[in-house]
Each structure stands twice: as structure tokens, then as C-alpha cells.
Amino acid sequence: MAHQRAQSTTAPGGSHAVSLKVLRLSRPSLATQTPLPHTSFGNALDISPKASLAYPSADESSSFPLTPLLRLPAAFGAAYVGETFACTLCANNEVQEGENRSVSGIRVTAELQTPGNQAGTALELTSADGVEDGSGVVAVGATLQRTLRHELKDEGPHVLAVTVTYTETLHSDEGGASGGRARSFRKLYQFVSQQLIAVRSKVTERKRREKDAGRQWILEAQLENVGEASAVLEKLWLKEREGISSRAVNGGGGREAIVLKPQDVKQVMFVLEEADKADDTDARLPLAQLNIDWRNAMGVRGRLTTGWLASRK
């Protein structure tokens, strides 16, 4: 998971009997490999070029870097605006065999603090093991597992706050309960959500010869991949306000996939037209929102919606 910023407990008195692990759920990627250069030192000092390959093949002349092997991410990776952030929360019973205590009633809750909502938003958790919160005794070494999914809509630092509460019961030598207490702790994890597709737009009013015709505008948009991974733009479309119609001139509105590598730029253009001529032609008029549906290299979906693009006053 991302950087753990802080940890606090609300019940003093020794180490906790429950630990928390937070792992991000990410799709694997194809492993890469680079063969060693051929050498001719002799005296058994030469190393086979295959020694560095993760997936050696019979063709020694092949230098193709991708392999059919799947590799899990070694780090948290980048989080992009528009994609669904997913992670699993694991509350583990750390009580050892022979200890005179047991754990029950484990509950896990989570909230996400974003730049637009510093107070935090409670997240919905789904059960990954069929065990309900607070139900029964958790066996020694067992895990209560929860999964969360949340669409990232804000750019900037995010804080995932996870709270674990449970009941710790002490047992006498005869096996009966001799006491118990409710305990809890809270951990914070910080990560940054960044833009993958940057949008720069320009709206220009088009002069028309027909005096009674509604106004017409040219909407130009420049899409740039500012992230660290390639993106496939599956669909570009406009959500017009009432009374406005649009048509794509180049690259917009269709379902033809567009591949954007890091730092690649794509230009799109739309023509927007007013259905009826407005009385106040000097007013600044919101026209439409640009929507982009994309996938990353491993097929993870993302979505980006701009604010209202308006004509100049």
C-alpha cells in the first residue's frame, strides 16, 4: 500500500491482538527481459546471454523484450483520476496458540479524505470471505477480509483512513472468561491521484451569413497523455446542454480506439450549433462537457469528464 502516515490507538494496554494489512488490487503486467551481450573472453569467463532471461527460448537471436509471463506490481504504482481505486483490507488475528486470550467481533471501516472533501467520505466495503462484521469468534491465525472500490474524481493527495475495532477476551487457566475489553486502532495511508489525460480546449464563435440562424461555435480540444503509462481512448463524446447540438469534425464522437503513449497529443474538433437564436447574444453560454472513456495498457477502465465548456462573452 502507499505510505503509512500515522497510527493511533484508542485503548492503551499492550500490543494489539489484531493486525491490519492494506494491499492495492492491481492487474498484472507482462514481464520484460534483456539478454546479456555475447562475450568471447575464454577461460570459462563467458556468461550465456540466457542467464538474465526470465523466459529463455530456443531462438538465441531473438531480443524481443516482452515475455508471456505475468508479473505483479512491485510497488503501489500510480493512481489516476477517472480510474477505480481498489484495495483489500485484511484484519489478522495475531493471537498465538496457548495464549489466555481470544479475539471476537472484529469490525473494519474505512473512509477516504480527498482534496474536495477533507472531512472524509465513508467507503462501502464488501466481504471477500463471507464473514460478517462483528459475528462470532475469529479463529487463531484467521483473517477478516474486506474489499473497497472507489472511483477517483479529484486530483491531489488522498488519505485512506482504516479503523479496526474488536473485543479481546481474557481466559483463566480453567478456560473460562475472566475479563474482556473493547479495543480499536486506526491507520492512515496516503497516496496521490494524478491526471492521465490533460485537456486544453478553445471555443470560437463562427460567423454565419443567415441572420435568423442560431449561433455556431467551433470547439477544439487537445488531449495529452501526461502520465507514465499508455492509454487507449475508446470513446470521445460531448454532453450538450439543452438547445445545443454538436457533430464531430475529426477524431471525436466515434468509437475508433486512439492509442496515446506518454507525452503523445491528439487534436479533436466539434461544431456546436444553437437550435434557436437567443435574444441576448452577448451572454457567456455553457455549451457542453467533453467525456473521455479510456483504458490503460492492461485494460483497466477510466473515465474523464471536463467542466462545462462555454462560449466567450
Q: Residue 172: its pLDDT value, please?
A: 77
- Residues 174, 217: one domain? no
- Residues 229, 297: one domain? yes
- Residues 222, 86: one domain? no
| 194, 210, 241 - which closes a domain | 194
51 lies in some domain: no
| 169, 194, 219 - which closes a domain | 194
48 lies in some domain: no
Residues of the chain predicted below pLDDT 70: 1-14, 58-63, 128-137, 174-177, 212, 251-255, 277-283, 313
- Residues 14, 135: one domain? yes
- Residues 127, 174: one domain? yes
**DSSP letters spanning the chain:** --EEEEEEESS-SS--SEEEEEEE----EEEE--PPPP----TT----GGGG-SS--S-TT----EEEEEE--SS---EETTBEEEEEEEEEE-PPTT-SEEEEEEEEEEEEEETTEEEEEEPPEEESSSPPTT-SEEPTT-EEEEEEEEE--S-EEEEEEEEEEEEEEEE-TTSSEEEEEEEEEEEEEEEEEE-SEEEEEEEEEEP-S-TTSPPEEEEEEEEEE-SSS-EEEEEEEEEEPTTEEEEEEESSSS---EEE-TT-EEEEEEEEEESS--S-TTS--EEEEEEEEEEETT--EEEEE---EE---
Q: Residue 136: its pLDDT value, please?
A: 58
63 lies in some domain: no
Q: Residue 251: its pLDDT value, please?
A: 60
Domain that holds residue 139: 3-27+74-194
CATH number of the domain to which 253 belongs = 2.60.40.10
pLDDT digits (tens, 9 = 90+) for 198-257: 999 999 988 877 776 778 899 999 999 998 888 999 999 999 998 899 988 876 655 577
The model's pTM is 0.74
| 161, 194, 227 - which closes a domain | 194
- Residues 280, 135: one domain? no
Q: Residue 40: its pLDDT value, please?
A: 78
Q: Residue 274: its pLDDT value, please?
A: 86
Q: Residue 179: its pLDDT value, please?
A: 73
Domain count, the chain: 2
